[in-house]
Copies of this chain bind each other. A is one copy, B any other.
Amino acid sequence: MDAARRLPTSIATVCLSGTLPDKLEAAAAAGFDAIEMFENDLLTFNGSPAEVRRMCSDLGLRIAIFQPFRDFEAMPEPQRARNLDRAERKFDTMQALGTDLVLVCSNVQPAAIDDPARAAADLREMAERADRHGLRVCYEALAWGRHVSRWRQAWEIVRAADHPALGLCLDSFHTLALDDDLSGLAGAVPAERIFFLQLADAPRLSMDVLSWSRHHRLFPGQGELPVAQFLSDLLATGWAGLLSLEVFNDEFRAAPSRRIARDGQRSLIWLMEQAGLAPLPALPDFSGIEFAEFAVDAAARQELGRYLGGLGFRHAGRHRSKDVDLWRSGGANLVLNAEPDSAASERFEQLGPAVCALAFRVDDPDRLVGRAEALQYPVWRERIGEGERRIPAVRVPDGTLIYLVADPAHSERPIWEDDFILETAAAEPAPLLGIDHAAQAVAPGVMGTFVLFYRALFGLEPETPWELPDPYGLVRSRAFTSRDGSVRLPLNVSESSRTGTGRFISALAGAGVHHLAFAASDVTRVLDGAGERHAALLDIPANYYEDLNARFGLDGDELARLEAHHILYDRDAEGREFRHAYTRQFRDRIFLEVVERGAGYTGFGAANASVRMAAQRREASS
């Protein structure tokens, strides 16, 4: 990163869970320069403000601001006088804390007077008093403020108050949640009058803005608001201050503070790239998923081999130095890793047989490793034998590895030829084309961490979310996809522990890949072509095919063929078709799918998910 343009970072204590010492340690460990001291975290702490100051100083953290000071301006007497007394008390606290800035957010009280001149006079009086203590005040428009809800209103009041100890506080959420932006800021507001900046993202939700703000804020990059544009517009004023995160989120409050603080820091590093402040090694170009790797032992390897054979996979090679086998069908590669003392064996010891790695084909693995390091994501390098290719990897937050292999277009030769003794390939009657998608179960409360990982590090973008009705609860699914569509990763989350996703999460100790889908040009041929070794396919009820008939009017032959092969069918609004079939589960850990994707069809057959999930539940209980 270009350190010259890197701005210092800060996080509000309210973003993090735990006691105040927990929060401060987490913020320091994640590399923040400063914190916002959220008042409630001070009130609940059983030590003096001076002790807090010392703790911060020992951790190398500056207290950038004390906040919030609520419902101050434009109140009738005697509340006006009481509010000024209250401010004086808080000035004492600030001096003990060693911070010189307090945040006043716009009044929400019904009793507040709708008079910008009164608001300006009150803020001027407060600033005047603060100034006597060597302190400063900044004023922020809450999106649900009684009379002041836009930054332009707040600025007019600050401008009218006209005191050097009074400035503006900007907050991306309060601005963007009202579909507003910072247009007109540059030119109108001198940079030095912008005393503070708070950053938060959020999903777009149609709900009241107060609940939205209090429960659903996210770090930049985890949501859908144009936070990077917001920051760019601010930078256009010449402002170059502290980037401070202020997020209220129910899941963050319950999550380990170290993880959340680390994500916060990453989100700001990413945001500085997006806003053109400090570039990172560029995002990769993808060309698909080269392989998926299973952690196995000898017994599981044998069992899994039989299972894979049912879809036409064949044993295709053996690693030169390790207890690792390659299974292959056409362009789809699966690695079965039984090597002791490896990342795979660690995973096997923890979970039993499970997907322990995926490999993405990218234009430049080393550049992506550089990006991971800049974003503080852990990089993994497996030990290798002589002459073998070093394949760098990054760790998904759930422990799965993502290997980064060079696209053959950018590389001398495929990795398989260096590291594997390949068998002569027999003719395959119906080869698969490759890995179409790999779905992960994600525990509730961890989704934000996954979203940031796939989006900031890889540039994968979220697609339309789906709600899938499992017989025992709702599963929410959202795919993260590379621009070219060659890497597709549906993430599934379920609040219910009784759904299939909930059960995978239990089996996989939190999260992991539980579903691999292979692309085929003709799903029927693949299912026929597996010869003697037919996969045990998931049973699909006859009622489903009756309904297909009613909905799509498929011809009788087509319908019979689908039903005979347990194939599900979808057609999108543009008439693009999707045919797909599922295998039964392997040890309740994984299931496979073969998909035939009509040109331009970008979905995953979500309309069929309830049929699939009910069938899986029957299979699991039979």
Pairwise interchain contact A550-B611, C-beta atoms closer than 8 A = no
Known contacts A48-B543, A254-B496; 4 further A-B pairs (Cβ under 8 A) = A44-B611, A44-B614, A206-B211, A250-B474
Pairwise interchain contact A253-B543, C-beta atoms closer than 8 A = no
User: How large, as a class, is the contact surface on chain A?
Assistant: 35 or more
Asked if A90 CB lies within 8 Å of chain B CBs, one says: yes
On chain B, the residues within 8 Å of A39 by CB distance are 547
Asked if A448 CB lies within 8 Å of chain B CBs, one says: no
Asked if A408 CB lies within 8 Å of chain B CBs, one says: no
On chain B, the residues within 8 Å of A445 by CB distance are 496
CB pairs A–B below 8 angstroms (8 shown): A18-B472, A19-B617, A40-B469, A43-B544, A44-B471, A46-B542, A48-B542, A253-B470
Pairwise interchain contact B550-A86, C-beta atoms closer than 8 A = yes
Contact with B along A587-614 (1 / 0, CB 8 A): 0000000000000000000000011011
Pairwise interchain contact A549-B46, C-beta atoms closer than 8 A = no
- What residues of chain A have their CB less than 8 Å away from a CB belonging to chain B? 17-19, 22, 39-40, 42-49, 82, 85-86, 89-90, 93, 205-208, 211, 214-215, 250, 253-254, 445, 467, 469-474, 495-499, 539, 541-544, 546-547, 549-551, 553, 610-611, 613-615, 617-618
Pairwise interchain contact A543-B42, C-beta atoms closer than 8 A = yes
In the complex, A549→B542 CA distance in Å?
A: 72
Interface centre among A49, A205, A547, A549 (most CB of B within 10 A): A547
Pairwise interchain contact B206-A553, C-beta atoms closer than 8 A = no
Rounded to whole Å, the gap between the CB of A183 and the closest CB of chain B is: 28
On chain B, the residues within 8 Å of A498 by CB distance are 17, 254
Rounded to whole Å, the gap between the CB of A129 and the closest CB of chain B is: 14
Rounded to whole Å, the gap between the CB of A279 and the closest CB of chain B is: 37
In the complex, A467→B215 CA distance in Å?
A: 10
In the complex, A175→B223 CA distance in Å?
A: 33
Pairwise interchain contact A553-B85, C-beta atoms closer than 8 A = yes
Closest 4 CB pairs of A and B: A254-B496, A254-B473, A44-B614, A89-B550
Pairwise interchain contact A254-B472, C-beta atoms closer than 8 A = yes
Q: Taking A19-B618, A46-B539 as contacts, is the C-beta distance between A254 and B495 under 8 angstroms? A: yes
On chain B, the residues within 8 Å of A469 by CB distance are 40, 253
In the complex, A90→B206 CA distance in Å?
A: 35
Rounded to whole Å, the gap between the CB of A348 and the closest CB of chain B is: 28
On chain B, the residues within 8 Å of A17 by CB distance are 471-473, 498
Rounded to whole Å, the gap between the CB of A407 and the closest CB of chain B is: 41
Our pick among B86, B214, B543, B551 for the contact of A86 (Cβ within 8 Å) is B551
In the complex, A133→B611 CA distance in Å?
A: 29
Rounded to whole Å, the gap between the CB of A495 and the closest CB of chain B is: 7
Pairwise interchain contact A18-B471, C-beta atoms closer than 8 A = yes
Interface centre among A497, A543, A613, A614 (most CB of B within 10 A): A543
On chain B, the residues within 8 Å of A473 by CB distance are 17, 250, 253-254
Pairwise interchain contact B472-A549, C-beta atoms closer than 8 A = no
